């Protein structure tokens, strides 16, 4: 028998969305935090042009894309690394900086892939409590041990949708031990972005990395393009463990073109947040609790885990797929990606009817 590494055998596989719609029902997928609309038409055109040269390997240095990201965000392109989705970069950071005996630290309701990436290295995963479903910097600091090598924080968080301020993140970085790497995952950064509202400058300290993605606001989840800002010493190590030629030429071209259409991206964000806030307002008056979200999804908290499960079943019976959150230690919650207005109105209707039947409205 071929035996896997003991720590791999012990870990669970990352739980992917289950999209098995009942026969005859239109599938309404609100479970993967995808964009409610396709990317800018410029992205599709650029990808089609680049696809003509698919007999060639892509640019392994993402030169054009890095230049475009750098120009938009006023970052030195040399500090940028692109990934096959930001998952690629999270995995590389874990592989480069974690080993058996080490620990990574995450907030209690953090993005579950931080767990997968950590456990795959044989390192331990520690968690720190959150306050009101929001990252608690003081609790993270209190949970640091001599084994801690990386602290992963998604801001805004997934599945919570909440965020902490740049000032709090700066304070966290300043207070963490200098030899602990702080990875700030801003996959949903564009939904809350104003020109001042980012923390790329933290990278200058040499022990923080900021990650972003084209999968959410830019609508390119299927293209698999993420990027990050890295201190030079960390970039050098991450590049050693990165698969060469990790982002296809078509995806690089699509991402650069999407970036050039900021108006379209901003419109996607405005459309999304408008529908999100309407969905939240629609469910007011029920016993469901929806924390304020700074992302393209809404977390829905039910009175109990069994109630969340029952509501999930009621939604699935109508072909509507939300995402259960046991993996983020929130079994009493479902997460709804914000889809088009009609789908969200339908989901709200099904939930309100369910609440009525259960005596929860």
Ligand X SMILES: Cc1ncc(COP(=O)(O)O)c(C=O)c1O
- What is the binding site for ligand X (CB under 6 A)? 33, 85-87, 111, 154, 158, 185, 187, 213, 215, 221, 226
* Nearer to ligand X among residue 286 and residue 325 (C-beta): 325
Which own/partner pairs from 285-293 qualify as long-range (CB within 8 Å, at least 24 positions apart)? Answer: 285/361, 286/351, 286/352, 286/355, 286/360, 286/361, 287/355, 287/360, 287/361, 288/351, 288/355, 288/360, 291/132, 291/133, 291/160, 291/161, 291/162, 292/161, 292/162, 293/156, 293/161, 293/162
Closest CB 290 distance from ligand X, rounded Å: 18
Phi-psi region of 319 (alpha: psi -120 to 50; beta: other; left: phi over 0): left
Contact (CB, 8 A) for 217 and 40: no
CA distances from 118 to 1, 7, 103, 342, 360 (A): 26, 10, 8, 39, 39
What residue is closest to ligand X based on CB? Answer: 85
Q: How far is the CB of 154 from ligand X (least distance, A)?
A: 4
Nearer to ligand X (CB atom), residue 286 or residue 293 = 293
Closest distance between ligand X and the C-beta of residue 295, in Å? Answer: 8
142, HSE (Cβ side, Cα atoms, 13 Å) = 9
Nearer to ligand X, 221 or 314 (CB): 221
- For the bound state, the minimum distance from the C-beta of residue 129 to ligand X, rounded and expressed in Å, comes to 19
8-state DSSP, 4: P
Q: How far is the CB of 183 from ligand X (least distance, A)?
A: 10
CB of 85 to ligand X, least distance (A): 3
Helices assigned H by DSSP within the chain: 6-10, 41-51, 63-73, 86-97, 113-119, 137-143, 166-175, 189-192, 232-241, 249-260, 262-282, 305-317, 341-358
- Residue 112 CB, shortest distance to ligand X, in Å, is 9
Instruction: For the sheet with 323-324, list strands across it.
Output: 297-301, 333-337, 323-324
What is the nearest approach in angstroms of ligand X to the Cβ of residue 140? Answer: 16
Q: Which is nearer to ligand X, 216 or 354 (CB)?
A: 216
Query: Is residue 75 helix, strand or coil?
Result: coil
Decide whether 212 or 280 has the Cβ nearer to ligand X.
Answer: 212
Distances (CA, A) of 119 to 9, 10, 101, 124: 10, 9, 11, 6
CB of 115 to ligand X, least distance (A): 12
Q: For 274, which DSSP code?
A: H
Nearer to ligand X (CB atom), residue 58 or residue 228: 228
């Amino acid at each position: 028998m071929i035996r896997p590494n003991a720590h791999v055998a012990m870990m669970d596989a990352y739980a992917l969305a289950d999209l098995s719609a009942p026969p005859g029902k239109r599938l309404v997928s609100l479970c993967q935090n995808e964009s409610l609309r396709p990317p800018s038409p410029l992205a599709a055109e650029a990808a089609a042009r680049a696809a003509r040269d698919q007999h060639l390997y892509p640019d392994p240095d993402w030169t054009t894309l890095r230049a475009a990201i750098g120009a938009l965000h006023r970052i030195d392109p040399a500090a940028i690394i692109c990934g096959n989705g930001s998952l690629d970069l999270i995995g590389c950071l874990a592989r480069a900086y974690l080993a058996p005996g080490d620990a990574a630290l995450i907030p209690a309701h953090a993005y579950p892939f931080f767990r997968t990436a950590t456990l795959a290295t044989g390192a331990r995963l520690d968690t720190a409590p959150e306050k009101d479903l929001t990252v608690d910097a003081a609790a993270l600091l209190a949970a640091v041990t001599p084994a801690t090598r990386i602290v992963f924080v998604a801001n805004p968080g997934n599945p919570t949708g909440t965020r902490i301020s740049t000032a709090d993140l700066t304070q966290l970085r300043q207070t963490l031990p200098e030899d602990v790497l702080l990875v700030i995952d801003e996959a949903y950064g564009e939904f809350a972005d104003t020109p001042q509202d980012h923390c790329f400058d933290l990278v200058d300290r040499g022990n923080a990395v900021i990650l972003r993605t084209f999968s959410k606001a830019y609508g390119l989840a299927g293209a698999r393009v993420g990027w990050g800002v890295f201190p030079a010493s960390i970039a050098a190590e991450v590049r050693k463990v990165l698969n060469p030629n990790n982002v296809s030429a078509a995806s690089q071209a699509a991402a650069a073109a999407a970036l050039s259409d900021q108006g379209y991206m901003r419109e996607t964000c405005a459309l999304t947040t408008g529908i999100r806030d309407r969905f939240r307002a629609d469910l007011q008056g029920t016993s469901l609790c929806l924390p304020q979200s700074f992302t393209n999804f809404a977390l829905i908290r039910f009175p109990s885990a069994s109630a969340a499960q029952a509501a999930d079943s009621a939604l699935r019976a109508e072909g509507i797929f939300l995402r259960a959150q046991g993996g983020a230690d929130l079994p009493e919650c479902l997460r709804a990606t914000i889809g088009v207005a009609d789908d969200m109105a339908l989901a709200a209707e099904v939930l309100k009817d369910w609440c009525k039947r259960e005596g929860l409205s």
